[in-house]
Amino acid sequence: MSLLGSAVLVNWGGIVVSKEAEYNSWHSKEHMPERIALPGFLRSCRAIGIPETNINHKYFMMYEAERKDVFVSRKYLERLNNPSKWTKNILSNYISPSRTICSVITSKSVGFGGWIGTVRFLNKDIEPENHVEKLKLSVPQTIKLEGITGMHVLLGEKAYGQMETQEKSFRSNQGLNDQIITQAIIIEGLNYFSLEKAILALKQEYSLEESDYLIINYYQIQHILTKQDLIGI
């Protein structure tokens, strides 16, 4: 199996500490159901960073869609421009938002792993040896590693879906605008140690060095929601 559609919306960020418990309730009980109910949305997830994760990157969220134009559809934009009172309150307390619509270049997984490792590329110009077309060649050997259940390679659509919306304005209330990634690797696994080994292998193979322009984080899944889950709600 793989990601459910040909496009994803990926988000990283943090939340003001005093709002963290409420943020989790909001995201699970209002935000994810609201998004997944929209045409073209297929599955969503939220994951929380391991204990030493910088607060700016504490949460990872991903929304899978049939195709990328779902994220600029009329019904989706209506939601972005008509946020609920709860949404306005939570997004106003969001820290260091990162939001990018991505095309799924390649994807392979067995179900959905309980742990996720993410590698974000922020440089506008990616070296040919680190481009997604090169990185995707590592998927077959990576998913064979012990404890690894999936790997996905994403290409950021930097000029796509970046309209000024009400939700976007509230996300910037803490002083930062949305960060946009160039590309990303998402690895799923059974535990942190398996992910760490898999990402170390990729770092060595492609000479990847962590910096402000190449950010690596590790997360544990908190909640996954699909359209099937909304039946009867």
pLDDT in tens, 144-153: 999 999 999 9
Report yes or no on whether pTM surpasses 0.75: yes
Output the domain CATH number for residue 126.
3.30.70.100
From residue 159, alpha-carbon distances to 106, 163, 200 in Å are 21, 9, 31
156 domain-assigned: yes
Q: Minimum mean pLDDT among 2-16, 68-82, 152-166, 187-201: which range?
A: 152-166
- Work out how many domains the chain is built from and give that number: 1
Residue 46 domain-assigned (yes or no): yes
Residue 225 domain-assigned (yes or no): yes
Task: Tell me if 1 is assigned to some domain.
Answer: no
pLDDT reported for residue 40: 97
Tell whether 2 is covered by a domain.
Answer: no
User: Is residue 115, in this structure, part of any structural domain at all?
Assistant: yes
* Domain range for 24: 7-230
Residue 195 lies in a domain: yes
**Does 88 fall in a domain?**
yes
Query: Does residue 232 have a pLDDT over 70?
Result: no
